[in-house]
Structure formats: C-alpha cells, structure tokens
Amino acid sequence: MRVKILDCPIDTMDINATVLFIDEAIRENKRIHHVVVNAAKLVNMRRDERLRDSVVNCDIINADGQSVVWAAKLLGEPLTERVAGIDLMTALVELAKEKKYKIFLLGAEAEIVRAVAEKYGAEIVAGYRNGYFSKESEAEVAAQIAASRAQMLFVAISSPKKEIFLDRYKDTIDTPFIMGVGGAFDVIAGRVKRAPAWVQKAGLEWLYRVIQEPRRMWKRYLVTNSAFIYLVLKEKFSRS
C-alpha cells in the first residue's frame, strides 16, 4: 500500500516487511530499485524533474526522515514507521551474511569504502569502488558492478547524482536489488557519528548533522526544512 505526500508516492511497509519483500525478490531474481525520501529530497523533487522521475520510478519508496512520518500523519496519510536507509542497509547486510548473497559497495572516498568492505568481509563483498567518477565514466562503472554479479548494490553518493545514476543505468547494472544510502558509509566506517536513538525519534537528526558539519549543512537544512514545513501546511489547508 502507498500514500502520497507532496505528490510523491511512499510505501507504508515497515522495515521488517521491506526486508522480507527484498529477500523474496532476490530469491526469484526480480529486480528491485529502492529509494528513501526525506524532507530535503521531497522539496528538491519539486524543482528537479529528473530527480523526481528517478524517485517515482522506484519499486519501493520508504520515508527516511521522521519529519516525513509526521507530515503523513498531519495529512491523514499515516505511515507505519520511518525506514532509515542506513538501518535498512544494516538489516540487508545481515540478510546477505545469512543467505550468502553478494553485495557491491559504490561511493564515498576510497579509504572509506575500503574500510566498509573490510568490515563486512570478502565472503559477502563482491566488489567496491569510490564514488568520485565523471559522467563520461558512468557506463564503465555500471559495467563493473554488473560484472561482479552481486545480488545487492549500495550507493553512497550525494543526491541527486545517485538517484539519477541508478535510474539511468539500472538495466546495465542488472543487479536484483539496488539502493542509495547517502552518507551511510561514513557512519559505518566510523568517520561520522550517527545521532543517538532519542535524537532520531525526536526528528532532530538533521540538527545533529548540522552540529557535526555546520559549514556544509546549515544552509541546506535551513532552506529545505523551511520549504518543507511551508509545503506541508499548504497541502493541509488545500485538502481542508
């Protein structure tokens, strides 16, 4: 089942149902393109048609940000829970270890993605590479992933590059399950500390990130969070 928030369809599955759905698809060799949306992405989709198309074309769309869950409730389209990209990735890596699935890691700096690959181990990591490549090299990167014959692909590249890359090359990649995971590799490698659970539940993970990286994050969150609140209230009143 799906609801619609700011014209974006979002699946109501919780994390356990999502993992079961993905596992079944991998066993049946079906292709699944997964994406998560937060307040910033929903705002940016309003002005970036290519990003919007890349998101709505996905097979599973989960709400990553707690603010999206609150907005859904306010608009009378409640979601079961937030499904954070890093939490889903962690659950799927455990599934890979259990079911002997292979994964490919794409993104972040070379030393970061290498650290993540070493942490997970050669028994499940079919390949990895950093996320710094030119537009002219995209087809080559997609071919490298396909050649690994991995069952899962995790892409830690900033938005909208990762969404557009996956939408454009998923037929070439031909991996059963693909998803973008944002800055997850930095957290898994220990370079960035994730917000405590109570901060996440309070919907203040964005503030925690601003405190850690103020120069890079403050303007982004100030602009997109303000725009998100405005758009949600506007939709609420229009529905009323």
Residue with tokens 């490298």: 144
Distance in angstroms (rounded) separating the CA atoms of residues 50 and 37 = 15
pTM for the complete prediction?
Answer: 0.91
* Range scoring the smallest mean pLDDT among 25-39, 58-72, 183-197, 208-222: 208-222
Report the DSSP pairing between strands 8-11 and 60-63.
unpaired
**pLDDT given for residue 226 in this prediction:** 87
Vertex 120: Cα angle to 116 and 126 (nearest 5): 90
Quote the tokens at residue 190.
Answer: 């220990």
CA 97 to chain centroid, in Å, comes to 21
Distance in angstroms (rounded) separating the CA atoms of residues 230 and 225 = 9
Residue 138 makes CB contacts below 8 A (sequence gap 6+) with 165, 168, 169
Asked if the model's pLDDT at residue 218 lies above 70, the reply is no
Q: Are 206 and 225 in contact (CB under 8 A)?
A: yes
Domain count, the chain: 1
Residue 217 banded pLDDT, cuts 50, 70, 90: low
Asked if the model's pLDDT at residue 203 lies above 90, the reply is no
**Mean pLDDT for the chain?**
91
**pLDDT given for residue 109 in this prediction:** 96
> 33-79, pLDDT tens digit by residue?
999 999 999 999 999 999 999 999 999 999 998 889 999 999 999 89
**pLDDT given for residue 143 in this prediction:** 98
DSSP classification of residue 160? T
Strands (E), the chain: 2-5, 8-11, 32-37, 60-63, 103-107, 125-129, 152-156, 177-180
Asked if the model's pLDDT at residue 195 lies above 70, the reply is no
**pLDDT given for residue 188 in this prediction:** 96
Residue 225 banded pLDDT, cuts 50, 70, 90: confident
Domain extent, residue 18, equals 2-239
Neighbours of 165 (CB within 10 A): 23
**pLDDT given for residue 14 in this prediction:** 95
> 123-140, pLDDT tens digit by residue?
999 999 999 999 999 999
